Amino acid sequence: MNVVIGVGLRSGTPYTELIELVRRHCSGDVRVIATRTGRESEPALQQLVDELGADLRTFSAAELAGCETPTPSDRVLHLTGSPSVAEAAVLATGAHLLIPKQQSPNATLAVGRLPAPGYPADEREVVQRVIAERRDVRRGFLDVPVADAVLMPVLEAAHRAPSVGLSQPWDFLLIRDAGTRRKVHDLAVAQRDVFAVSLPDDRRAAFDGLKVEAILDAPLNIAVTCDPGRGGRHVLGRHADPRTTRFSAAIAIQNFWLAARAEGLGVGWVSFFEPGEIAAVLGLPAHLELIGYLCVGYVDEFAPAPELVRSGWARRRPVSWAIHQEQWGHRDASIVTDALSAAQTAVPAAGHRIQVLVGGETSRLREPDVLVVDLRAEQPPPDFGVLWRPARTPEEALEYGVEIARDLALQNAGHLVVQVAERSEHAEALARGLTIGASACGLTHSSA
């Protein structure tokens, strides 16, 4: 425990009195002794600091007066300029007060506890920087081998990832062989074509200009696998949710990605694979799953923003949309109110057309620009052309509509055609939300 003591004392307080007061009320390891500025020259306090090996922190009377304490005193205010010294000094360090003011003839003492410390500001800044400057890289790989001395610490960082029940379900298959990479590349090219065919024409034209992998360009490829059964029956925390084992392997990849960025290594994650096909090419044992396929190597630059943002393919979602207070949907600013005010100043957006069918009509799903919003309670079969939004109230349906439109705008939609395929109060509310969300993002919209 990180104990903080706050001390108030008169000039000339004997050390024996002070240490006796401390011993009577405080048993843990004292890390910090806090007091009023000017008292640091008191011999008893100096001896206490030396004896306990603690840091001394001092606060001005004004700083102490700014702390609200349980035992303020007019007499102390008159003598020192703040209504409390010992308690206020504890609180001024940021500690939580455990024992309020205790007294001896010449001194006062309060005891508090500090949370475990974080890192100093400059080190915290580095962590934030690595996170912000990590990039998915597909261009500019250099034909420079990655030495084991550089790679091993990065793999160790991956291997230090948290995992459900400490099951450590990942393995790292390092692939440098050009022949294997060629076969993997062929799979990715085929899936690229499958995806391209699924796109509306203008979206497909934009996709043609994107690079989605660097399998042959990067000198090192790494397949990160997951053994979902690793550790047997009694892995702690996995029994109720088997997905946790895949989450663990994904976190290992994130650790890898960040540590690689710090080493100046670019990493590009490729997922343009049908799982069975890539497993066969890599010769994976049947019990393993591929979680991520990474292209790794030195690069000529790390772009300042995601490639998909820079190319105009998609945009980042504001963090405020992602934070809910206590209950899902309770954001600091209501998404509907926020959208209504954003609509006042929205800049017209250029982008592709999407026809949103509110209701369960799935027969038109083969058309690339059709998106069905299914409001029924029963979950439909998985299909990215269907958004399942079983709204519990019309208000929730309205919010879903706003959110769907805004998320489609982030994926570069420019015009929404809204059609209510099955009329109901919820469907009408959702359709209204779609038009509000569209207006907020400068999307044109019409109804069919």
Ligand X SMILES: Cc1cc2nc3c(=O)[nH]c(=O)nc-3n(C[C@H](O)[C@H](O)[C@H](O)COP(=O)(O)O)c2cc1C
Interacting residues with ligand X (CB under 6 A): 135-136, 138, 212-213, 269-272, 306, 308
CB atoms within 10 A of CB 110: 30
Q: Which two tokens stand for residue 58?
A: 């001092």
Q: Considering beta carbons, is residue 213 or 399 the nearer one to ligand X? A: 213
Sheet with strand 413-420: strands edge to edge:
386-388, 370-374, 352-358, 413-420, 444-447
Token digits for 381? 């079969």
Q: How far is the CB of 216 from ligand X (least distance, A)?
A: 14
* In the complex, least distance from residue 135 CB atom to ligand X, rounded to whole angstroms: 4
Closer residue to ligand X in complex, CB, 42/213: 213
Q: 330-336 contacts: CB < 8 A, separation 24 or more?
A: 334/399, 335/399, 335/402, 335/403, 335/406, 336/398, 336/399, 336/402, 336/433, 336/436
Q: Cα–Cα distance between 290 and 270 in angstroms, integer?
A: 11
**Closest residue to ligand X, based on beta-carbon distance:** 306
- C-alpha 285 chain-centroid distance: 33
Residues 6+ positions from 370 with CB-CB distance below 8 Å: 354, 355, 357, 364, 385
Residue (36 or 138) nearer to ligand X, CB:
138
In the bound complex, what is the minimum distance in angstroms from residue 229's beta carbon to ligand X? Answer: 22
Q: β-strand 220-226 against 289-298: which pairing, if any?
A: antiparallel
Question: Which phi and psi (to 5°) does residue 43 adopt?
Answer: -55, -40
Q: Which is nearer to ligand X, 270 or 420 (CB)?
A: 270
- In whole angstroms, how close is the CB of 329 to ligand X at the nearest point? 26
- What minimum distance in Å lies between the beta carbon of 211 and ligand X? 7
Nearest to 183 by CA among 172, 175, 171, 194: 175
Assess contact for 346 and 339: CB atoms under 8 A: no
CB of 109 to ligand X, least distance (A): 52
Give min distance, CB of 189 to ligand X, in A: 12
Q: Output 308 or 340, the one with its CB closest to ligand X.
A: 308
Complex with ligand X: residue 42 or 217, whichever CB lies closer: 217
Crossing angle (nearest 10°) for helices 121-133 and 243-263:
110
Residue closer to ligand X (CB basis): 149 or 197: 197
